[in-house]
Amino acid sequence: MFDYKQEMDLYFELKDTPESSRESYFRRFKAFTEFVQATNNKAVEDITYSDIQQYILYLKKEKALSPGTINNYISAIRFFYTHVLDKEWNKKKIPRMKREYNLPVIPPKEDVIAILNGTANLKHKAILALIYGSGLRVSEAACLKISDICSKTMRVRVENAKHGTNRYTILSDNALQLLRDYFRTSFTSYKPDDWLFPGQAPGAHINVKSIKNTLIKIRNKLQLDPNISAHTLRHCFATHSLENGIEPVHIQKMLGHKNLSTTTNYYLQLTSKSLMGIKSPLDSPGALK
């Protein structure tokens, strides 16, 4: 079998694909090749649409994965099929699964503050405060460098985000104070390009799973909704900003959404209608006696 990883690496390098996307494609495609070899004893360059269809059914029925996750596997396989094997892709043979979009839980602000105050660990508290205060993805917070925080302009620089984009978002006054407290107790010397939140391994930033697990522990300790996750804090940033009267176009830029419609159509559904000044016709004077 030819070295497909080398071929994929070459394409990713030429396109300058973010490391997180590379890892995701490699991991999912590796799982597919292992399935094909175990079930059909077939070299990966000889895969057929039938092999791909069998694998999708396996993911759906045996692994019980969600439609969105299965679509991610399909994307990885399609990438290999078209860019490495240089074959035509027939989307009628391999349709993408229809996703069901469930609205996320948006806890009230007091619960969000309780989560942020739910840990005495300054590092963890600063990370969670940045996610909520600046609307960051968990992976974005983990990858911040010291130089990405600017107290003069009160901005956070986010580089190599989703889809390889870069942007600026706001820096909260409270988050800055937490960062200063954390910095004083954690750094004796540093360089601007050092990780803001270093991990356990030398030269590595904090692991994304560590951040997610931290919030889960706090959530469970506070006995909050089990659907609350670290990513919920980003949703809360957008929703609470909208409720505070921030223009959707500004929220779009801070979140890094490509389209304004993504921001407005999604988060308008999550706002507290009373905070937006919307009243039910049933609440008009004399509606009920």
Answer whether 206's CB lies under 8 Å from 127's CB: yes
H/E stretch holding 4 reads: helix 4-15
pLDDT at 274: 59
Q: Which domains does the chain have, with CATH numbers?
A: 4-84 (1.10.150), 109-267 (1.10.443.10)
pLDDT at 1: 46
Quote the tokens at residue 76. 């990885």
Say what the pTM is: 0.74
Antiparallel, parallel or unpaired: β 149-150 and 155-158: antiparallel
Q: Tens of pLDDT along the chain (289 residues)?
A: 457 778 888 888 888 887 778 888 989 999 999 999 888 888 888 889 999 999 999 999 999 998 989 999 999 999 999 988 889 999 999 999 987 777 889 999 999 999 999 999 999 999 999 999 999 999 999 999 999 999 999 999 999 877 678 999 999 999 999 999 999 999 988 999 999 999 998 899 999 999 999 999 999 999 999 999 999 999 999 999 988 889 989 999 999 888 887 777 778 777 876 566 777 776 777 667 6
pLDDT at 20: 75
- CA atoms within a 13 Å half-sphere pointing along the CA-CB vector of 267: 29
Report the distance separating Cα 142 and Cα 133, nearest Å. 15
Answer whether 84's CB lies under 8 Å from 8's CB: yes
What one-character DSSP code corresponds to residue 60?
I
Geometric angle at alpha carbon 172, from 166 and 177, rounded to 5°: 120
Quote the tokens at residue 141. 């917070």
pLDDT at 2: 55
First-to-last C-alpha distance (Å) of the chain: 79
pLDDT at 8: 86
Tell me how crowded residue 55 is: count the other CB atoms within 10 A of its CB.
22
Provide the annotated active-site residues: 137, 162, 231, 234, 257, 267
Shortest CA distance to 95 belongs to which of 75, 117, 118, 116? 75
Shortest CA distance to 31 belongs to which of 85, 2, 70? 70
φ, ψ for residue 172 (rounded to 5)?
-75, 145
